[in-house]
Amino acid sequence: MPTVLSRAVSGVLFTCAGQRVDIVTAFRRAGARTLATDLNQLAPALYHADAHAFVPRVDDPTYVSALQALVLEHDVSLIVPLTDLDHGVLARAKDRLGALVLLPEPDVVDALADKWLAHSLFVDSGIGSPPTWLPGDVPEDVEFPVLVKARRGFGSRGIYRCNDQRELEFFLDYATEDSMVQSCCRGEEFSIDLFCDLESRCLNAVPRTMIESKGGESIKGMTIADDELVEVGRHVSETLRLVGPANVQCFREPDGKHLVTDINPRFGGAFPLPTAAGSRYPELALALAAGERPEPRLGDYRAGLYMTRFFGELVLTAGPSGTLEPFAQELPQHS
Q: Are residues 229 and 142 in the same domain?
A: no
Residues 220 and 149 in one domain: no
What's the whole-model pTM score?
A: 0.92
- Total domains in the chain come to 2
Q: What is the pLDDT of residue 2?
A: 47
> Does a cis peptide bond (omega within 30 degrees of 0) precede residue 145?
yes
**Domain edge (last residue) among 183, 203, 223:** 183
- Average of per-residue pLDDT across 149-171: 92
How far is 270 from 95, CA to CA, in rounded Å? 30
Residue 123 resides in a domain: no
β partners of residue 252: 188, 258
For residue 153, give its domain range.
131-183
The pLDDT assigned to 332 comes to 58
237 and 294 co-located in one domain: yes
Domain assignment of residue 318, yes or no: no
Is residue 2 situated within a structural domain?
no
pLDDT at 211: 86
Give the pLDDT score at 334.
62
Q: Please state the rounded mean pLDDT for residues 168-172.
A: 97
DSSP code at position 224: -
Q: 219 in a domain, yes or no? A: yes
**Statement: residue 329 has pLDDT above 90:** no
Q: CATH number of the domain at 175, please.
A: 3.30.1490.20
The answer to whether residue 328 is domain-embedded is no
Q: What is the mean pLDDT of residues 240-267?
A: 98
153 confidence band (pLDDT: 50, 70, 90)? confident
Note whether 247 and 159 are same-domain residues.
no
My answer on whether 156 and 60 are in the same domain is no
Residues 208 and 244 in one domain: yes
User: What strand order describes the sheet that includes 12-15?
Assistant: 51-54, 34-38, 12-15, 78-81, 100-101
Residues 149 and 107 in one domain: no
Are 142 and 34 part of one and the same domain?
Answer: no
Same-domain status, 225 and 103: yes
Confidence band, pLDDT 50/70/90 cuts, at residue 312: confident
Q: Where are the beta strands (DSSP E) in the chain?
A: 12-15, 34-38, 51-54, 78-81, 100-101, 132-133, 146-150, 159-162, 179-183, 188-196, 202-209, 212-214, 217-222, 244-252, 258-264, 306-308, 316-318, 324-326
124 inside domain: no
Q: How confident is the model at residue 5 (pLDDT cuts 50, 70, 90)?
A: very low
- 210 versus 60: the higher-pLDDT residue is 60
Q: Is residue 196 part of a domain?
A: yes
pLDDT band at 333 (very low <50, low <70, confident <90, very high): low
The answer to whether residue 4 is domain-embedded is no
The CATH number given to whatever domain includes residue 286 is 3.30.470.20
Residues 196 and 286 grouped into a single domain: yes
Q: Which of 309, 257, 251, 302 is nearest to 280 (CA)?
A: 302
Strands 146-150 and 244-252: unpaired
pLDDT at 217: 74
The vertex-103 CA angle with 234 and 156, nearest 5°, equals: 80
The percent of residues above 70 in pLDDT, for the chain, comes to 94
Give the C-alpha separation, 172 to 23, whole Å. Answer: 37
Do 175 and 276 belong together in one domain?
A: no
pLDDT value at position 113? 97
Model confidence at 299: pLDDT above 70: yes
Question: In terms of domains, do 209 and 290 share one?
Answer: yes
